[in-house]
Amino acid sequence: MTNQLTMSNNGLLRIIKMVSQPTIGGSKAWALSGLLVMGITFGLQGQTATISGHVLDQADNFPLIGAHISIPELDRRTITDASGFFIISDLPEGEFLLEVSYTGKTTHSESIRTGGQKKELKIRLEDEAQLLTEVSVRAEEEESFGMARLRAVEGVAIYEGKKSEVVVLRDLAANLAANNPRQVYGRVAGLNIWESDGAGLQLGIGGRGLSPNRTANFNTRQNGYDISADALGYPESYYTPPTEALDRIQVVRGAASLQYGTQFGGMLNFVFKKPPADRKISLVTRQTAGSFGFLGSYNQLAGTLADGKFSYFGYYQYKQGDGWRPNSEFQMHNAFASLSWKPSNRWDIGLEMTRMSYLAQQAGGLTDALFERDARASYRERNWFKVDWNLLALTLDYRLSDRTRINIRNFGLLASRRSLGVLAPINVTDFGENRDLIEGTFENMGNETRLLHRYRMGGQDHTFVAGIRLYKGYTTARQGEGNNGSGPDFYFLDPENVGKSDYTFPNTNYAAFAEHIFRLGNKWSLTPGIRYEYIHTQAEGYYNQRVYDAAGNLVAETREEETESRRRDFLLFGLGASWKPSERYEFYANLSQNYRAINFSDLRIDNPNSRIDPNITDERGFTADLGWRTRTGGWLYADVTAFYVAYRDRIGQVLRSGEPPLYNDYRLRTNIADARNLGLELFAEADLWHFIRKQDPDHKLSLFINTSLIDARYINTDDLSILNRKVELVPPVTVRSGLTYRHRDFRTSFIWAYTAEHFTDATNARRTSSAVNGIIPAYQVADLSAAYKWRLLTLEVSCNNLFDARYFTRRAEAYPGPGIIPAEGRSFFVTLGVEL
pLDDT tens for residues 225-241? 999 999 888 888 899 99
Q: Do the bridges between strand 610-612 and strand 666-687 make them parallel or antiparallel, or are there none, so unpaired?
A: parallel
- Residues 11-38: b if buried by 16+ CB within 10 A, e if exposed: ebeebbeebbeeebebeebbebbbebbe
Judge contact between 131 and 347, C-beta under 8 A: yes
Judge contact between 197 and 278, C-beta under 8 A: no
Is 129 a residue whose pLDDT tops 60?
A: no
Gyration radius of the chain's alpha carbons: 27
Is 86 a residue whose pLDDT tops 70?
A: yes
Distances from the Cα of 243 to the Cαs of 197, 213, 755, 829, in angstroms? 16, 20, 24, 15
pLDDT tens for residues 440-459? 999 999 999 999 999 989 88
Q: Which residues pair with 191 in a beta bridge?
A: 207
Judge contact between 426 and 367, C-beta under 8 A: yes
Task: Classify residue 370 by its DSSP letter.
Answer: H
Q: Report which secondary-structure segment, H or E, holds 37.
A: helix 26-41
Min mean pLDDT across 2-16, 242-256, 637-651 is at 2-16
How far is it, in rounded angstroms, from Cα 279 to Cα 468?
37
DSSP assignment of 611-680, as one string?
Answer: EE-TT---EEEEEEEEEEEEEETTTEEEEEEEEEEEEEEEEEEEEEPPPTTT---EEEEEEEEEEEEEEE
For the chain, the first-to-last Cα distance in angstroms comes to: 47
Q: Pick from 295, 293, 313, 296: which is nearest to 304 by CA? A: 313
Q: From the centroid of its chain, how far is CA 331?
A: 24
Tell whether the torsion through CA atoms of 691, 693, 695 and 697 is positive or negative. Answer: negative
Average pLDDT in the 86-113 region?
Answer: 78
Q: Report which secondary-structure segment, H or E, holds 535.
A: strand 524-548
Q: Helix 26-41 crosses helix 9-19 at what angle (to 10 degrees)? A: 160
Residue 715 neighbours by CB under 8 Å, 6+ apart: 673, 674, 675, 676, 723, 724
Judge contact between 498 and 478, C-beta under 8 A: yes
Number of alpha carbons in the 13 Å side-chain half-sphere of residue 263: 29
- Residue 39 has a pLDDT of 39
Distances from the Cα of 377 to the Cαs of 362, 399, 814, in angstroms? 12, 59, 18
Task: Classify residue 342 by its DSSP letter.
Answer: -
Banded model confidence at residue 553, pLDDT cuts 50, 70, 90: low
Q: What percent of the chain has pLDDT over 70?
A: 86
Is 135 a residue whose pLDDT tops 50?
A: no
Give φ, ψ of 27 to 5 degrees: -70, -40
Strands (E) across 458-498 are located at: 460-481
How far is it, in rounded angstroms, from Cα 694 to Cα 699?
10
Residue 566 neighbours by CB under 8 Å, 6+ apart: 535, 536, 537, 538
How far is it, in rounded angstroms, from Cα 104 to Cα 102?
6
Average pLDDT in the 483-508 region?
Answer: 91
Banded model confidence at residue 81, pLDDT cuts 50, 70, 90: confident
Select, from the ranges 122-131, 417-426, 509-518, the one with the highest average predicted confidence (pLDDT). Answer: 509-518
pLDDT tens for residues 789-822? 998 999 999 999 999 999 999 998 887 878 999 9
Q: Which residues pair with 673 in a beta bridge?
A: 650
pLDDT tens for residues 199-212? 888 899 998 888 89
Is 38 a residue whose pLDDT tops 80?
A: no
More confident residue, 412 or 697: 412
Q: How many residues does the chain have?
A: 836
Average pLDDT in the 725-740 region?
Answer: 94
Torsion of CA 447, 448, 449, 450, to 10 degrees: 180
Q: Which amino acid is at 239?
A: Y
Cis peptide before 661 (omega within 30 of 0): yes
Is 139 a residue whose pLDDT tops 70?
A: no
- Residue 326 has a pLDDT of 96
DSSP assignment of 263-316, as one string?
Answer: -SS-EEEEEE----TT-S-EEEEEEEEETTTEEEEEEEEEEEEGGGTEEEEEEE
State the pTM of this model: 0.83
- Residue 131 has a pLDDT of 31
Counting other chains too, the contacts that 796-799 makes at CB distance below 8 Å and 24 or more residues apart are: 796/175, 796/176, 796/177, 796/829, 796/830, 796/831, 796/833, 797/828, 797/829, 797/830, 797/831, 798/174, 798/175, 798/178, 798/180, 798/828, 798/829, 798/831, 799/826, 799/827, 799/828, 799/829
Q: Has domain 269-835 been given CATH number 2.40.170.20?
A: yes
Q: Which amino acid is at 772?
A: V
Average pLDDT in the 173-194 region?
Answer: 90
pLDDT tens for residues 407-435? 999 999 999 999 999 988 888 888 899 99
How far is it, in rounded angstroms, from Cα 812 to Cα 776?
12
How far is it, in rounded angstroms, from Cα 475 to Cα 443?
6
Torsion of CA 146, 152, 158, 160, to 10 degrees: 100
Banded model confidence at residue 117, pLDDT cuts 50, 70, 90: low
Q: From the centroid of its chain, how far is CA 752?
A: 19
How far is it, in rounded angstroms, from Cα 60 to Cα 706?
44
pLDDT tens for residues 275-328? 998 889 999 999 999 999 999 999 999 999 988 899 999 999 999 999 999 999
| Cβ neighbourhood burial of 116 (10 Å; 0-12, 13-18, 19+) | exposed
Number of alpha carbons in the 13 Å side-chain half-sphere of residue 543: 18
Min mean pLDDT across 56-65, 411-420, 597-606 is at 597-606
pLDDT tens for residues 245-276? 999 999 998 777 888 887 888 899 999 999 99
How far is it, in rounded angstroms, from Cα 815 to Cα 818?
6
More confident residue, 532 or 695: 532
Min mean pLDDT across 345-349, 422-426, 470-474 is at 422-426
Is 604 a residue whose pLDDT tops 70?
A: no
What is residue 243's three-state secondary structure? helix
What is residue 207's three-state secondary structure? strand
Banded model confidence at residue 36, pLDDT cuts 50, 70, 90: very low
What is residue 431's three-state secondary structure? coil
More confident residue, 272 or 633: 272
Q: Which residues pair with 629 in a beta bridge?
A: 586, 639
Q: What percent of the chain has pLDDT over 90?
A: 52
Residue 410 neighbours by CB under 8 Å, 6+ apart: 393, 394, 395, 445, 446, 447
